[in-house]
Amino acid sequence: MSMAVSAAWGMAKDRACALSLRLVRSPDRSYGEVMVVSNGTGQRSRALRSSVLLHAVMAVSGLIMVLFLLAHMYGNLKIFEGRQAFDGYSEYLREVGEPLLPRTGVLWIIRVVLLISVLVHIYAAFTLWHRSRAATAGAGGWRYETTKNRRGVQRSYASFTMRWGGVVVGLFVIYHLLHLSADYVAPGGASSSPYQRMVNGFSIWWVVLSYVIALIALGFHLRHGVWSAFASLGGNSSVARRRGLNQLATVVALLILVGFLIPPLVIFAGWVR
Amino acid sequence: MNVTLRLWRQHDQDAAGRMVSYGVDGISADMSFLEMLDVLNEQLTAAGDDPVAFDNDCREGICGMCSLVINGIAHGPEGRTASCQLYMRHFHDGDTIDIEPWRSPSFPILRDLIVDRSAFDRIIQAGGYISAPTGAAPDAAAMLVPKKDADRAFDAAICIGCGACVAACPNGSAMLFTGAKATHLGALPQGQIERNSRALAMGNQHDAEGFGGCTEIGECTAVCPVGIPLDMISRLNGDVLSALRHNST
Ligand code: HEM
Ligand code: SF4
Ligand code: FES
């Protein structure tokens, strides 16, 4: 049986007419310039560099970091159980898995997974940022001469601050690791006790303020990021699902924002010392 | 009513363009936006000036030729409305209205408000087809299509290919268009054979044309004159990822 390829849609044909009309208008454009469409071979390897795949990579690495944040937030809230419980949890994270794994083995596995996630996330973000600048002559949503409706029709604050907001969160993570993890930046005094490091740091107003600002930036990043991650992975399957995923993202962002804000604020208020 | 238009004038693809102001008098609120531009062009022609070039064909919202960014919004302030279906009653006497072409390096400006959207044709060419046996017409009930799938395909098929989604997108992405075209065929049983290869080919052509990636902002759906929903993009994402997982293409 012979197989024929049938054009499924009339537009290609209509547009061909439109194109020839335009050629009459501007005779310097010839068919010779028309880009070649390639089908068939090499599509898989090209798709591995596609924006769709880069977004999927961002989604997966981002969701891994969200899972880490939820666990980290749980650990921080142990501050309410007192110094021993908090420092004991820190010690537990180092011992867990022994003797199957060496001491701090699990911790290092988590650190390596997170490091890979962060690097991959940043690589994809900058590659896509570059592509989107190229696709808008470097001006993004501000490429029109008019100054009216520059914020578009419906886009949210969270959605158009993803890139710079991500940079802010990234810088915060470096500062934060130097502070509470490495004990290298130690406002209020260094200590071998993680509990004491937090109390020392969060007794100072500007330390608390820096965390509050960074966490709000993180909250916005997650508000759009969590929804976008599921949509990039193919999870947005209907108008109702779009609403549901956005609600989920709001819940996750608020949970993480509030959960992380509680320890610095209660320490600053003097309720935990 | 009288309005002042600030609109983009550019002689050809290589010329530099600029915004030029014109006053237009005697506009009736019942005129369509394009009829208002016709009045301007009569005025310009009578004065011996070049008329403003703008794309249009059906003027009934189905062909996808009209393509104006009006006051910074693709197809203007009314939702689910193509430029040709916008009426002057949505404006006020004395308004200044800014009119620009779609702005995307993948849609070069040919003249004034006309852009070349053949990048869309090449995305269609890359995978917007199905393979079907020729010969006698098949029995009408030979392949049953579930209502849900037929509706889904139809919701995607109504995309008129205007390009407003690209014009509105802060990333200059054409994923709403590409998603609609891939879903239109991929939702039907006849379109399953090439579902994977179609997703890869159309997605790749989308990138090769220089369109940006989708960050799920949703400006595209908000301006789309036929209301193509954002989930068409997610479906294309899912199809590309599943094509990459299954080594069949
Ligand atoms: C108010 C908010 C936060 C507080 C109070 C806090 C507290 C801490 C503390 C006490 C440690 C050291 C734990 C130990 O040595 O056992 C730590 C480590 C860490 N935190 Fe946070 N954190 C906060 C927010 C964040 C955020 C938003 C991120 C990521 C975006 C983050 C990422 C990390 C990482 C990656 C580590 C290092 C874990 C390691 O040492 O391998 N933290 N945090
Ligand atoms: S998806 Fe909507 S806005 Fe984009 S080309 Fe199709 S009809 Fe136009
Ligand atoms: S002119 Fe045909 S859709 Fe507007």
With CA atoms as reference, the chain B residue closest to A238 would be B231
CB A203 within 8 A of CB A218: no
What is the CB neighbour count within 10 angstroms for residue B139?
7
Q: Report yes or no on A184 lying in a domain.
A: yes
Residues A58, A17 share a domain: no
The arithmetic mean of pLDDT across residues B210-222, rounded, is 97
Q: How confident is the model at residue A113 (pLDDT cuts 50, 70, 90)?
A: very high
Residues A110, A35 share a domain: no
Return the biggest CA–CA distance within chain B.
64
CATH 1.10.1060.10 at B118-133+141-245, yes or no: yes
How far is residue B65's CA from residue B54's CA, in Å, rounded to a whole number? Answer: 9
Residues A188, A117 share a domain: yes
B225 contact A CB<8A: no
Q: What is the dihedral of CA B78, B81, B87, B89, to 10 degrees?
A: -20
Tell me the two tokens of residue A198.
């937090």
How far is residue A4's CA from residue B242's CA, in Å, rounded to a whole number? Answer: 26
Among B135, B170, B249, whose Cβ lies nearest the Cβ of A140?
B170
Residues A193, A71 share a domain: yes
Residues A132, A10 share a domain: no
Range of the domain at A21: 2-43
Q: Is B168 within 8 Å of A47 when comparing Cβ atoms? A: no
- The domain limits of chain B are 3-110, 118-133+141-245
B19 contact A CB<8A: yes
Q: How confident is the model at residue A188 (pLDDT cuts 50, 70, 90)?
A: confident
Q: Report yes or no on A150 lying in a domain.
A: no
A89-103, B3-17, B75-89, B145-159: least confidently modelled range? A89-103
The alpha-carbon gap from B220 to the nearest alpha carbon of chain A, in Å, equals 9
Among B120, B157, B237, whose Cβ lies nearest the Cβ of A56?
B237
Tell me: the pLDDT tens digits for A44-67? 999 999 999 999 999 999 999 999
How far is residue B236's CA from residue B174's CA, in Å, rounded to a whole number? Answer: 12
Q: Report yes or no on A141 lying in a domain.
A: no
* Segment 92-131 of chain A within 8 Å of chain B by CB: 128, 131
Q: How confident is the model at residue A40 (pLDDT cuts 50, 70, 90)?
A: low
Among A238, A243, A213, A220, which Cα is nearest to A156's?
A220
Mean pLDDT rounded to a whole number for chain A: 87
CB A261 within 8 A of CB A219: no
Q: Report yes or no on A181 lying in a domain.
A: yes
Q: What is the dihedral of CA A236, A241, A243, A248, to 10 degrees?
A: -80
The arithmetic mean of pLDDT across residues B28-55, rounded, is 97
What per-residue confidence (pLDDT) applies to B139? Answer: 87
Residues A217, A114 share a domain: yes
Q: Which CATH class is domain B3-110?
A: alpha beta
The arithmetic mean of pLDDT across residues B83-97, rounded, is 97
Ligand 3 binding pocket includes B31 (Cβ within 6 Å): no
Q: Report yes or no on A145 lying in a domain.
A: no
Edge to edge, the sheet with strand B73-74 lists B18-24, B3-9, B96-100, B69-70, B73-74
ipTM of model? 0.93
* CA A161 to centroid of chain Cα atoms: 11
B112 contact A CB<8A: no
A116-130, B21-35, B130-144: least confidently modelled range? B130-144
Residues A175, A242 share a domain: yes
Contacts of A131 in chain B (CB under 8 A): 171, 207, 212-213
The pair phi, psi for residue B109, each rounded to 5°, is -75, 125
Ligand 1 binding pocket includes A253 (Cβ within 6 Å): no
* Segment 146-185 of chain B within 8 Å of chain A by CB: 157, 161, 168, 170-173, 181, 184-185
Tell me the two tokens of residue B150.
């037929």
Residues A58, A37 share a domain: no
Count of domains observed in chain A: 2
With CA atoms as reference, the chain A residue closest to B128 would be A8
Among B57, B128, B244, whose Cβ lies nearest the Cβ of A44?
B244
CB A215 within 8 A of CB A29: no
Residues A239, A160 share a domain: yes
Q: Provide the CATH number for the domain around residue A235.
A: 1.20.1300.10
pLDDT above 70 covers what percent of chain A? 85
Q: Is B211 within 8 Å of A37 when comparing Cβ atoms? A: no
A26 contact B CB<8A: yes
Residues A38, A112 share a domain: no
Residues A124, A66 share a domain: yes
Contacts of B132 in chain A (CB under 8 A): 3-4, 6
Residues A91, A194 share a domain: yes
User: What SS3 class is residue A87?
Assistant: helix
